[in-house]
Structure 1
Amino acid sequence: MGLFSFLNNKAEDEDEGPAPQARAPIPTAAPTAAPSAAPAGTDTALSYADADAMLFREEIVDKKHRLCGYRFTFQAGGKRPKPTEYAFFEALEAIELKEFTTRRMAALRISAEGIDGRHHAGVVAPNTLFIIERRHPSFGPMELAARLAALKKDGCHTALAGASLSPEEAPLLQQADAVFLNLSECSLPQFQALLKQLRAAYPALKIVVENVNSWDEQRMCLAWGCDFCMGYFLTTPDKVDPDAKIDQSRLTSIELLNLLRTDAEVSELVDVAKQDPGLAFQVLKWANAPTTGNHAKITSLKEAIIVLGRSHLYRWLTVSMFRLGSNNARDEALLEVALQRARFLEIVANLPQAQRDELFLVGLLSLFDILLGMPMSAILDKMHLSDEVRDVLLRSDGPYGPYLMLALQVEKGQVGRAAEIALGQGIDPDTLGETSNAAFQWAQEALHHSMDG
């Protein structure tokens, strides 16, 4: 099953509803009777402190711009005590992390005591990387090295948080498969020297650099010898060209999207799709996917568009924009982030399905300026979108603004701020962690199916 078949399968139990441009009035607040709404009479000034802890995921991007995995941590909500390490590993088992790490990397912090207590036993997998602090109040380097050796005996990969080239810490580096270094913890000349020395002394050691928050910093770290980067750089603009032009395949997709928004005749859609043979082929492929329920082979674009339906075709075309460019690895990484964000927005809101569909679209479009290297205003000038969607994408304003801000705060692990925004929209803060995990798992499943096309 391909990615677009998966998307169709996901939506098959939902009402088809009106064409994308038809929308019910957008309420300023969610209905109080919604299942996940905050209880009536809740003291919103205090209740954000009771938000459940959430699993926080940070993207790990390799030299080729591939999103190869995540570092998982537990972020406490408000004034609640920090969750225990045992609870953290229980939460990882609950989201079936072991299945995820059969295909992708998962980096997890673990204490020396956690290793002794085998808290990690339920998530040991081929691509799990356990990170241990290189300094401990009770154990010296040799004792910590013994625990790294115990992890490796279990078939685990190991890493150190921080690194020193002092002789007493050599046993730690000899047992580690990787080190995590924080770009902001020392001056750039010191950081460059440390990378060079580590690379010379331990050539097999993988170096992961944290707090990389721009593409210039990412290129600098790669030039100095690191293997992976973490930080907000992936979803920030690189080189924005106000005069940049959208390539022809994406222009054709945008033209089709605009026609779908204006309820154009099928014949008009067919005429535009024919302008791009690759896109026409893809539409036929989607229409012939098993999940459409159509058993006869479809060979005409007109029939394909009718079988697919306007709302599904609109969603698929928007997703396909991420796979029409030349920067394939980076664009695929952006698609993964966009799918998670879009799905989170769709399922977190206590709104009618028509508005939830638009929130899914907001999640995808919110990264189009990064994807295309163009100002968002220039992109939206070419697209027919509702005022509500335009307002949130251009100014983080309008009725959808709080929802996008909520998604961004959840992505950054800002549990308290996310809980405050959720309460303002009538959403129970205790549901945010579960919703975020569900969106993550849905996006992973969608991308896994994309291996079939």
Structure 2
Amino acid sequence: MVEVRSVANAQNEWVALLLGTPGTGLDDPALQGLFGTPDLLAAIAPLDCIVLLDDAAVLTPPVLNVLPANRVLLAVRADALATDGTARRLAELQMAGYRVLIDGALPEGVAAPIALRTVARDGRTALPRAGALPTLFGPHLAYNVGDMDAYRACENAGFSWFSGDYALEGSVAEGDDGTSRRRMLTMLALLARDADSRELEAQLKADPALSYHLLKLVNSAAFSVGTQITSFGQAISRLGRRQLQRWLQLLLYARQHPDSPPNLMLPVAALRGAALEALCKRDGGDRDEQDLAFMAGVFSLLDRLFQMPMAEIVQDLNLPEHVEAALLRREGQLGQRLRLAEAGRPDPETLEAAGVDGPDWWQSQLHAYHWAIQVARNV
């Protein structure tokens, strides 16, 4: 199992996926298995891949043959530069078109070639001093960025690509007296009980921001039905209630001020929903069961979005018992699969408890990332 994490820029846009676990970098068989077929890079296009490597020895000709330089960045542990020939090898790869990041602080007495000035750092470790990173050699990557305080420290140090749980840190908008949150909770309740279209339309009319994001989405290049949609009624008739409710569930995360960056929780919610739906479909679940699996994945971040306990959120939603158990306690098969969706690198025991094998989990992730990337680019 390979750990996969999203990487965003300072504008809260996904720019790459980070593959591998720090300290246990990907080896030759893993790299050939991941990139030996077009599945991975096709699924995540146009994003790039950043692969974590312990040393340059794994970059054999067969491996490089499946690593296109225009799509793959190589993040090599700084300790590897203490090995004879590694610095020269990495400099040659950089000259050949690969983007090379030196991961971690250089060993004492070891200097990197002038061409290797792009860095990656674990956000939990000591960071370079402010302004120490050369901007011309970026983008510099900070991973394991745990919260917004760590994010600001990394940004101040000169990093411009970020990965970590900071993306899941919700906040209450300045000046929000609770009216907006109550309206959103009402919308959730209506969606959960398959409310009449007129009730949904009334809520949307009271929320211009959500209405704007919905119309922007359904008219986007990726999801357009060929005719300009200008009203909620048209959206219902063109998309159908099932698809419309799905977009509304996701668009709860898209509420932001017009001049603020996108909410990074939105693509994560889309990712979780799509992964759980794919696994349900694999098991032969019908459309209603797939919709509930998708809803569980999307709703799993609502406590972070609203900054309130999940129990308070679900108490008025009248969700099916197994969905509520999954959201509140991660119980049942759906709850176990939600644990998978939350894990960057699920262990074999968690996979077994969820009734999923490694290949099926990987395929669900490729599907989910492909879908989440498209959603993020069009909301």
Instruction: Return the match for 2:110 from 166, 169, 186.
Output: 169
**1:418 matched to 2:343:** no
In structure 1, stretches of 5+ residues that fail to align are 1-53, 76-81, 186-190
Aligned to 2:28: 85
Task: Report the residue type matching 2:37 in the other structure.
Answer: A
- Return the offset for 1:446: 3.9
Paired residues of 1:70 and 1:107 also in contact (CA < 8 A): yes
1:272-306 CA deviation, whole Å, 9 max, x = no partner?
Answer: 33333454566566777899997777666445434
Superposed CA deviations along residues 203-241 of structure 1, whole A, max 9, x for unmatched, are 645443333323333333333444343333323x46689
CA contact (8 A) 1:65 1:330 kept: yes
How far residue 383 of structure 1 moved from its aligned partner, in angstroms, is 4.0
Query: For the structure 1 residues 227 and 125, does the alpha-carbon distance in structure 2 shift closer, same or farther, using more than 3 Å as the test?
Result: same
Q: Which amino acid aligns with 1:57?
A: V
Q: 2:206 maps to what in 1?
A: 275
TM-score by length of 2: 0.79
Closer, same or farther: CA 446–283 of 1 in aligned 2, 3 Å: closer
Partner of 1:329 in structure 2? Answer: 261
Cα distance in 2 for partners of 1:263, 1:309 equals 13
2:118 corresponds to 1:178: yes
Shift, 1:318, TM fit:
0.7
Q: Residue 406 of structure 1 corresponds to which residue in structure 2?
A: 340
Change (3 A) 1:157 1:201: closer
Does the Cα contact within 8 Å between 2:214 and 2:247 map onto a contact in 1? Answer: no
Q: Counterparts of 1:84 and 1:178 in 2: how far apart (Å)?
A: 22
* CA–CA separation in structure 2 for the residues paired with 1:159 and 1:291: 33
User: Partner of 1:106: helix, strand, or coil?
Assistant: strand
Asked if the contact 1:252–1:273 (Cα under 8 Å) also holds between the matched residues in 2, the reply is no
- The one-letter code sitting in structure 2 at the alignment partner of 1:422 is A
2:222 and 2:44 map into 1 onto residues whose CA distance is: 28
Report how far residue 314 of structure 1 moved. 1.3
The size of the alignment, in residue pairs, is 370
| Equivalent residue runs for 1:82-161 within 5 Å | 84-99=27-42, 103-110=46-53, 111-117=55-61, 119-136=63-80, 139-140=83-84, 143-161=85-103
More RCO (CA 8 Å, sep 6+):
1
Distance in 1 (CA, whole Å) between partners of 2:79 and 2:218 is 57
Indicate conservation of the 8 Å contact 1:128/1:157, yes or no: yes
Q: Is the contact made by 1:396 and 1:404 (CA closer than 8 Å) also made in structure 2? A: yes
C-alpha separation between the residues in 2 aligned to 1:310 and 1:435? 25
Question: Structure 2: 5+ residue runs without aligned partners?
Answer: none
Aligned to 2:15: 68
The two structures, once aligned, show a CA RMSD in angstroms of 3.8
Aligned-partner Cα distance in 2 for 1:74–1:378: 36
Structure 1 residue matching 2:350: 3-state secondary structure: helix
Tell me which structure has the larger Cα radius of gyration.
1
Give the whole-Å Cα distance in 2 for the aligned partners of 1:293 and 1:209.
36
Amino acid corresponding to residue 370 of structure 2 in structure 1: Q
Q: Equivalent residue for 1:16?
A: none
In the alignment, the residues of structure 2 paired with residue 97 and residue 292 of structure 1 have an alpha-carbon distance, to the nearest angstrom, of 23
**TM-superposed deviation, 1:144:** 1.8
Which amino acid counterpart does residue 339 of structure 2 have in structure 1? Answer: M
Which residue pairs with 2:129 in the alignment?
A: 196
Equivalent runs, 1:164-313 vs 2, <5 Å:
164=106, 166=108, 168-170=109-111, 172-184=112-124, 191-192=126-127, 195-196=128-129, 199-200=131-132, 202=134, 204-206=136-138, 207-235=140-168, 237=169, 246=178, 248=180, 252=183, 254-280=185-211, 301-302=232-233, 304-313=235-244
1-side partners of 2:38 and 2:21: how far apart?
A: 13
- Equivalent position SS for 1:55: coil
- Call closer, same or farther: CA 1:247–1:114 in 2, change over 3 Å: farther
**1:389 and 2:316 aligned:** no
> How far is the alpha carbon of 1:103 from its aligned partner?
3.5
Output the CA distance in 2 between the equivalents of 1:164 and 1:320: 44
Q: Distance in 2 between matches of 1:232 and 1:317?
A: 24
- C-alpha change, 1:176 and 1:293, in structure 2 (3 Å) is closer
Letter in 2 for 1:123: L
Change (3 A) 1:133 1:286: closer
Q: 1:432 aligns with which of 346, 355, 361?
A: 361
Q: What's the TM-score, normalizing by structure 1?
A: 0.68
